[in-house]
Amino acid sequence: MQALDDLVVLDLSQHVAAPYATKLMADYGADVIKVERPGVGDVARSFGPFLGGEPDPEKSGLFFFLNTNKRSVALDLKSPDGRAAVAALARKADAIVESFKPGTMERLGMGWDVLHLLNPHLSLISVSNFGQTGPYRDYRLTEVSLYGFAGEMYSMGLTHREPTKMAGTAALFESGAAIAPALLGSILGNALNGEGQHVDISLAETHAGGVDRRHATAIGYQFSGRKTLRVAGGASGMPQGIYPCADGYVDFTNAALRPDRIADMLGHADWLNDPIYQDPQARFNAEVLEAWNANFFVWCLERTKREIWAEARRAKVMCGPMFTTQDLYEDDHFRGRGFWHTADHPAMGAVEFPGRPFIMQEGGWQLRRPAPTLGQHTAEVLAETSLPATLVARLVAAAGGAK
């Protein structure tokens, strides 16, 4: 058994954030029924990377990763038939997740009040850019504007240049990770109270209240009146920040908290014995720092990132070698731990991908099925409802596949 295999989630969401949350539910056992628009499907199907590089809605690596273990039902929510099917599915679901523009569910006749009457045990998780209320509720956001507005992007980069974002759609994935406990939490609450509830999640607020520096910069300002400057992380301590090495870069952020371990990492470095380095304020003295750097840069440049990391690990020094995705893929540690998993996908064949997000002793992660093709489970899922056979037949005929 899997921990969540008695739960049913009706997933009307698309793109990255909300589907990542429902993926987590599905990966740990929930029956996640993904409703997609006939012929088009989740917008993530139109985003790469694609197997072979050519756009194909059944060959998106992004969609593949985000939708493991889900079943896909192609339904047109604008048609009465489609809405009847959603209502039938909602009757047996524990939660619905949607990421439409605010107001859409109401327009489709599936607002919270209607759903709550239909199935009092159902929770509705509404995910939108700025939330269901407020002056910006209809505003658009994509990765860069989301992270720029609400995350701590302002202070990332060089002082005299533009702020820089995180890679890819990292901010949207963070939001997705934050949606997951709200989704499962609403179901736990239902078990306690006997009724579901509507949860309004603003992607902006998942970042404005999030842990990665934004909340701290806001509180730091409230406390002190100081603003956080945009400062790059290059070498600035003993050691502190990013250093070039023989084959790339290593990051020693906050490593200097333990000078004894730095000394151990460096081995018998005579220059370390100079008493000028013992003063806790030494790193604020430009001349002292320059002399330290002259030695430390050489130590780094004479070694590869893996050699440096091995010395750092031995001495328990915090250090991060900057890996490429190839370094990561070829690394024995992650492979040996079972980080990579292979799925057999109907359109893509055998695909390797990062498997379990965390390891449970019991009831944990399993790959029951790869990401679905568009509408792959329409007939199967609708047959499990109480809908009349003629209606099911019409819906299946209307579903079609990806165009």
Partner 1 sequence: MSQKKPLEGVRVLDLCVVWAGPFATMLMGDLGAEIIKIENPYVFQPMTRGAIARPPEFLLKASAAWAGGYPHNVPGDRPWNYNPTFVSLYRNKKSFTTDIRTPEGRDVLRRLVEVSDVVYENNATGTMEKLGVTYDWLKSVNPKIIFLRVPAYGSTGPYYNARALGVHLEAVMGHSLLRGYEDEDASANTAIFSGDYMAGAQGAFAVMTALWHRKRTGNGQLIEIGQAENASAMFTQAIMDYCLNRNVQGTIGNRDVHGRAPCGVYPAQSPGTAETSDDHWIAIHVENDEQWKAFREAMGSPAWAADPRFDTNAGRNEHYQEIDRGIASWSKELDDYAMMHDLQARGIAAAPVLEASRMYDDPHLRSRGFFREQRIENGETYEFAGPVWNFGGTPVTFDQGPVALGEHNEYVYREVLKVTDAEYEKYRELGWITMDYDKSVP
Cβ-based neighbour number of residue 303 at 10 Å = 17
Stretch that binds partner 1, among 293-301, 312-320, 374-382, 389-397 (CB under 8 A): 312-320
Over the window 111 to 150, marking each residue x when it contacts partner 1 by CB under 8 A and - when it does not, the resulting string is: -x-----------------xx-xxxx-xxxxxxxxxxxxx
- Interface pick for partner 1 out of 152, 376, 392, 399 (rule CB under 8 A): 152
* Local structure of residue 273 (DSSP, 8 states): G
**From CA 248, how far away is CA 304, in angstroms rounded?**
7
Structure tokens at 266: 């460096």
- Residues numbered 53 to 82 that lie near partner 1 (CB under 8 A) are 53, 61-62, 64-66
User: Distance between CA 250 and CA 296 in Å, rounded?
Assistant: 12
Which of 188, 246, 276, 294 contacts partner 1 by CB under 8 A?
A: 188
Measured torsion, CA atoms of residues 35, 41, 44, 48, in degrees rounded to the nearest 10: 150
Q: Determine how many CB atoms are found less than 10 A away from the CB of residue 346.
A: 11
What's the rounded Cα separation, in Å, for the pair 13 and 334? Answer: 31
Site string for partner 1, 230-249 (x = CB under 8 A): xxxxxx-----xxxx---xx
Q: Please, what is the minimum distance in Å from the beta carbon of residue 268 to partner 1?
A: 22
Smallest gap from residue 104 Cβ to partner 1 (A): 16
Using an 8 Å Cβ cutoff, are 388 and 88 in contact?
no
- The CA distances from residue 317 to 252, 253, 261, 292, 312, in Å, are 8, 10, 6, 17, 5
Q: Which is nearer to partner 1, 88 or 95 (CB)?
A: 95
Q: Which residues 339-398 are close enough to bind partner 1 by CB under 8 A?
A: 339, 348, 351-354, 356-363
| Of residues 252-291, those binding partner 1 (CB under 8 A) | 253-254, 257-258, 281, 284
Specify whether the backbone of 2 is left (phi greater than 0), alpha (psi in -120 to 50) or beta: beta
Q: Which stretch binds partner 1 (CB under 8 A): 32-40, 82-90, 204-212, 291-299?
A: 204-212
Stretch that binds partner 1, among 83-91, 266-274, 333-341, 374-382 (CB under 8 A): 333-341
Say whether residue 169 binds partner 1 (CB under 8 A).
Answer: yes
Q: How far is the CB of 42 from partner 1 (least distance, A)?
A: 13
